[in-house]
Amino acid sequence: MFVVATAGHVDHGKSTLVRALTGMEPDRWAEERRRGMTIDLGFAWTTLPSGGTVAFVDVPGHERFVPNMLAGVGPVPAALIVVAADEGWMPQSAEHLAALDALGVAYGLLVVTRADLADPGPATAHARAEIAATSLGAVQAVAVSGLTGAGLPELRTALDRLAARLPAPAAHDPVRLWVDRSFTVRGSGTVVTGTLGAGRLRVGDELELAGADEPVRVRGLHALGEAQPEATAVARVAVNLRGTPRDRLGRGDALLTPGRFHHTDLVDVRLTGDPAADLPATLTLHVGSAAVPVRVRPLGPDTVRLRLARPLPLLVGDRALLRDPGRHHVAGGVRVLDVAPPPLARRGAAVARAQVLAELDGRPDLAGELRRRRLIQAGALIRMGVPVPAAPTAGGAETGVVVAGDWLADPAHWRRLGDQLTEEVARYTRDHPLEPGMPVDALRQRLALPDRVLVEALVRPPLRMHAGRVGAAGADALPEPVARAVRRVRAEYGDRPFRAPEADHLVDLGLGPREIGAAVRAGALLRLADNVVLLPDALDDAVRVLAGLPQPFTLSAARQALDTTRRVAVPLLELLDRRGATRRLPDDARIVVT
Mean pLDDT of the chain: 85
Give per-residue pLDDT as tens, 274-289.
555 578 899 999 898 8
* SS (HEC) of 342-354: CCCCCCCHHHHHH
Work out how many domains the chain is built from and give that number. Answer: 4
CATH of the domain at 285: 2.40.30.10
Q: Distance (Å, rounded) from C-alpha 68 to C-alpha 180?
A: 9
Residue 238, pLDDT above cutoff 80? yes
550 domain-assigned: yes
Tell me: do 252 and 266 sit in the same domain: no
Nearest CA-CA partner of 273 in 331, 354, 197, 349: 331
What are 121-148's pLDDT values in tens digits? 999 999 999 999 999 999 999 999 988 8
Whether residue 159 is found in the same domain as residue 48 = yes
Residue 390 within any structural domain of the chain: no
Residues 43 and 142 grouped into a single domain: yes
- 402-404 sheet: strands from edge to edge: 375-377, 407-409, 402-404
Residues 22 and 121 in one domain: yes
Residue 534 located in a structural domain: yes
Considering the domain boundaries, does residue 130 fall inside one? Answer: yes
Using the Cα atoms of residue 315, residue 382, residue 250 and residue 211 in order, give the sign of their dihedral. Answer: negative
Domain of residue 204 covers 176-256
- Name which of 347, 296, 349, 299 is nearest 324 in CA terms: 296
Q: Check whether residue 13 and residue 128 sit in a common domain.
A: yes
pLDDT tens profile 481-525: 788 888 888 888 888 899 899 888 888 888 888 888 878 877 788
Q: Would 336 be classed as within a structural domain? A: yes
- Tens of pLDDT, residue by residue over 9-36, are 877 778 888 888 888 875 443 333 333 4
Within a domain: residue 439? no
> Would residue 460 count as lying in a domain?
no
Q: Are residues 491 and 533 in the same domain?
A: yes
Q: Are residues 183 and 113 in the same domain?
A: no
Give the residue from 341, 363, 385 where a domain finishes.
363
Measured between alpha carbons, how far is 21 from 145 in angstroms, rounded to an integer? 11
Tens digits of residue pLDDT in 532-570: 989 888 899 999 999 999 999 999 999 999 999 999 999
Domain containing residue 80: CATH number: 3.40.50.300
Residue 63 predicted with pLDDT over 50: no
In this structure, the answer to whether residues 57 and 95 fall within a common structural domain is yes
| CB 287 within 8 Å of CB 312 | yes
CA atoms of 366 and 161, how far apart (whole Å): 36
18 & 153 share domain: yes
The residue from 222, 256, 290 where one domain ends is: 256
How far, in Å, CA of 223 to CA of 233, rounded? 11
Contact 269, 335 (CB under 8 A): yes
Same domain? 246 vs 272: no
Residues 81 and 160 in one domain: yes
Residue 469 in domain: no
Last residue of a domain, one of 331, 363, 395: 363
Tell me the backbone φ, ψ of residue 556, rounded to 5 degrees: -65, -40
